[in-house]
């Protein structure tokens, strides 16, 4: 049987006291890739934030990579996040250090100690995203697509079972978007990481068909058909 990576049952998602999404039922298996779509303000970001522990789940049931979302505390959230890779639209790289040191910083922050293991891991993820020769470069010396690749590399450092990608192609031209999509699809297949990718880009969805989940009118529709 496939390993369940993510499961929400009858979950109500709040931002403060406002109910954003009601009666959410989603499950995701190891290695599965899904798109999360919906107009701005319909709850995509709130759903992602609930999955990585930024918004608490108080009603319904939720389990992400073996963590019960209702039992999370400020002490256990970092452990959840170590098992998840997060890819942001705006890269969020540290501008005062080079690519290698950006990755090393994340490893140190997530408890790695052994220098050699850290070095091996950094080289492995840089090779995976096609940037093996760019470790010495600073973020400002890289193109947008290369910075997004560094962001994907960073998400892979702790061999995550789940990758949450929030509009990862939002700031990229179509050709670079395709490269990042191919990379995420490849990671999903080769690493067996489940991927949830929030996007507004219907051209990407048409080109890379996958199961699609839609936020609309306070609900989450699974296997949604899209109207353009």
Would you say residue 10 lies in a domain?
no
Q: Is the dihedral of CA 215, 216, 217, 222 positive or negative?
A: negative
Would you say residue 23 lies in a domain?
no
Task: Choose between 2 and 133: higher pLDDT.
Answer: 133
The DSSP secondary-structure symbol of 55 reads S
pLDDT greater than 60 at residue 142:
yes
**pLDDT the model gives residue 226:** 66
Phi, psi of 182 (to 5 degrees): -60, -40
- Residue pair 228/202 in contact (Cβ under 8 Å)? The answer is yes
Reduce the DSSP state of residue 35 to 3 states and report it.
strand
| pLDDT, average across residues 206-211 | 92
Would you say residue 1 lies in a domain?
no
96-119 pLDDT, tens digit each: 999 999 999 999 988 899 999 999
153-175 pLDDT, tens digit each: 999 998 899 999 998 888 888 89
CA angle 145, 32, 122 (to 5 degrees): 45
**pLDDT the model gives residue 7:** 96
213 forms beta bridges with: 36
* pTM for this predicted structure: 0.90
The DSSP secondary-structure symbol of 43 reads S
pLDDT-derived band at 197 (thresholds 50, 70, 90) equals: very high
What is the average pLDDT score of the chain?
92
Tokens at residue 63, please? 């389990």
Distance of CA 68 to the CA centre of its chain: 18
Would you say residue 153 lies in a domain?
yes
Domain count, the chain: 1
> Which pairs with CB-CB distance under 8 Å and at least 24 residues apart come from 38-42?
38/214, 38/215, 38/216, 39/215, 39/216, 40/200, 42/215, 42/216, 42/217
**pLDDT the model gives residue 91:** 74
Would you say residue 144 lies in a domain?
yes
| pLDDT, average across residues 115-126 | 96
194 forms beta bridges with: 162
- Residue pair 97/105 in contact (Cβ under 8 Å)? The answer is yes
For residue 143, the enclosing domain spans 29-55+70-221
Reduce the DSSP state of residue 84 to 3 states and report it.
strand
What CATH number corresponds to the domain at position 76? 3.40.50.300
Q: What is the dihedral of CA 192, 36, 206, 172, to 10 degrees?
A: -90
Residue carrying structure tokens 């009603």: 59
**pLDDT the model gives residue 111:** 85
Would you say residue 62 lies in a domain?
no
Would you say residue 21 lies in a domain?
no
**pLDDT the model gives residue 62:** 97
Would you say residue 63 lies in a domain?
no
Phi, psi of 126 (to 5 degrees): -65, -40
21-37 pLDDT, tens digit each: 999 999 999 999 999 99
50-109 pLDDT, tens digit each: 999 999 999 999 999 999 999 999 999 988 988 999 998 777 899 999 999 999 999 998
């Amino acid at each position: 049987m496939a390993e369940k990576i993510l499961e929400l049952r009858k979950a109500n998602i709040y931002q403060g006291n406002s109910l954003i999404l009601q009666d959410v039922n989603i499950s995701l298996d190891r290695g599965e890739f899904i798109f999360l779509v919906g107009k701005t303000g319909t709850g995509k970001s709130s759903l992602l934030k609930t999955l990585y522990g930024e918004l608490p789940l108080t009603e319904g049931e939720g389990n992400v990579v073996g963590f019960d979302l209702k039992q999370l505390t400020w002490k256990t959230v970092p452990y959840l996040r170590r098992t998840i890779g997060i890819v942001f639209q705006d890269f969020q790289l540290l501008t005062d250090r080079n690519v290698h040191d950006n990755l090393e910083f994340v490893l140190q922050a997530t408890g790695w100690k052994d220098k050699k293991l850290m070095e091996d891991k950094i080289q492995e993820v840089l090779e995976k995203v096609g940037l093996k020769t760019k470790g010495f470069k600073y973020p400002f010396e890289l193109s947008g697509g290369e910075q997004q690749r560094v962001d994907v590399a960073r998400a892979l450092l702790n061999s995550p079972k789940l990758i949450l990608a929030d509009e990862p192609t939002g700031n990229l031209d179509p050709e670079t978007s395709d490269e990042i999509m191919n990379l995420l699809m490849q990671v999903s297949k080769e690493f067996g990481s489940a991927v949830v990718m929030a996007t507004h880009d219907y051209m990407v969805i048409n080109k890379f068909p996958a199961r699609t989940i839609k936020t609309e009118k306070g609900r989450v529709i699974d296997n949604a058909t899209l109207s353009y």
